Amino acid sequence: MPEPGRGIVIEESCGDGRALPWVSLEAFAHRAIEQARRDRQSARDLGGWVFFDRGLIDAAVALEWAAEVPIADTLIGADTYHAVVFLTPPWPEIYVQEAERQHGFADALEEYDRLYAAYSALGYEVIILPKTDVTARADFVLKRLG
């Protein structure tokens, strides 16, 4: 599933922009939570492995950071993801600020730390992807999942 945030930024950039993350992280997080819940529902109709580029937990972490809403409150009634979560740390070699991602590298590192802590606290096995090319990372994930 694609990252909810990019789509939200594109939609908000064409509209009033009130839910852009650099305008209101809280409003952005609420939209991302709604989208992540829809994505989880859509994934039920798909066969085989479904990989999420960001998801409900990421959005819950953002909401907690922005508005001090406990992650557990956001996740009430939500399905869990697979027990193994693959996380990619921000890499200076490939990190790019762009229209949809305006926060800097230091902010990305802080967000990564929050995500790692949240997934771990929720009982997920967090596996850090190696710094390799895309094909090697995909092979790593598929091998790990068996």
How many domains are contained in the chain? 1
Q: DSSP secondary-structure letter at 78?
A: P
Averaged confidence pLDDT in the chain: 94
Q: What is the pLDDT of residues 23-33, one digit of tens each?
A: 999 999 999 99
CA 111 to chain centre: 10
Among residues 129, 89, 86, which one has the least CA distance to residue 109?
A: 89
Domain holding 9, by residue range, is 4-145
Q: Which residue has the tokens 């800097």?
A: 104
Q: What is the pTM of this model?
A: 0.92
DSSP 144: H
CB atoms within 10 A of CB 73: 10
How far out from the chain centre does Cα 135 lie? 21
Per-residue pLDDT reduced to its tens digit, 33-83: 999 999 999 998 898 889 999 999 999 999 999 999 999 999 999 989 999
CA atoms of 5 and 116, how far apart (whole Å): 18
- Tokens representing 22? 């650099």
> 15 CB contacts (<8 Å, ≥6 apart)?
none
Q: How many CA atoms lie within 13 A of 44 on its CB side?
A: 7
